[in-house]
Amino acid sequence: MGTLAGPGAPPLVEMSSGMVGHLLEWRQHKHDGRWRAWISWVETAGDPLRYRHLVTEVPAGSVTPLEAPEAYARVPRTVFGRDGEVRPWAPLGSWEGEAPQPP
C-alpha cells in the first residue's frame, strides 16, 4: 500500500456493514476497472472484551465518506495494470490511453 503524506490519521469512512474505519488506499485493477477501498478498523468481541486491529478490502461503492471531501485528497490511489505493473494513479496522460477515474 502507498503511504500517506503529512501528519494525522487517514480519513474515516463507514462500510456497508456499519463499521467505521480509516481509509488507507484506493486500488484499481485494470482487468475489470473497478475501484476497491483498503480500510483499517478495530473489532471488539468477547467477554472479557478483546480488540483486534483488522484491514479489509471492500468495493469502493460500499463506503461512505464521513469527513469533508478535502480530507480524502491525500489518500493514495494505486492502479494494477493488465501487464502486471503497479502504478500510482495519474489523472492525466493515462498509460493505457484512458484516464482511470478514482472513486
The DSSP string of 54-65 is: EEEEEEGGGEEE
**102 is a domain residue:** no
**90 is a domain residue:** no
Q: Is the pLDDT of residue 6 over 60?
A: no
For the segment 39-57, the average pLDDT, to the nearest whole number, is: 94
More confident residue, 31 or 20: 20
**6 is a domain residue:** no
**65 is a domain residue:** yes
Boundaries of domain holding 49: 12-69+77-83
Read off the C-alpha cell for 100: 482511470
Per-residue pLDDT tens for 76-102? Answer: 999 988 888 888 777 644 444 443 445
pTM score of the predicted model: 0.76
**26 is a domain residue:** yes
Contact between 56 and 42 (Cβ < 8 Å): no
Count the domains in the chain: 1
**61 is a domain residue:** yes
**99 is a domain residue:** no
**4 is a domain residue:** no
Give the three-state DSSP class for 74.
coil
Give how far Cα 94 sits from Cα of 26, 79, 90, Å. Answer: 17, 11, 6
More confident residue, 40 or 31: 40
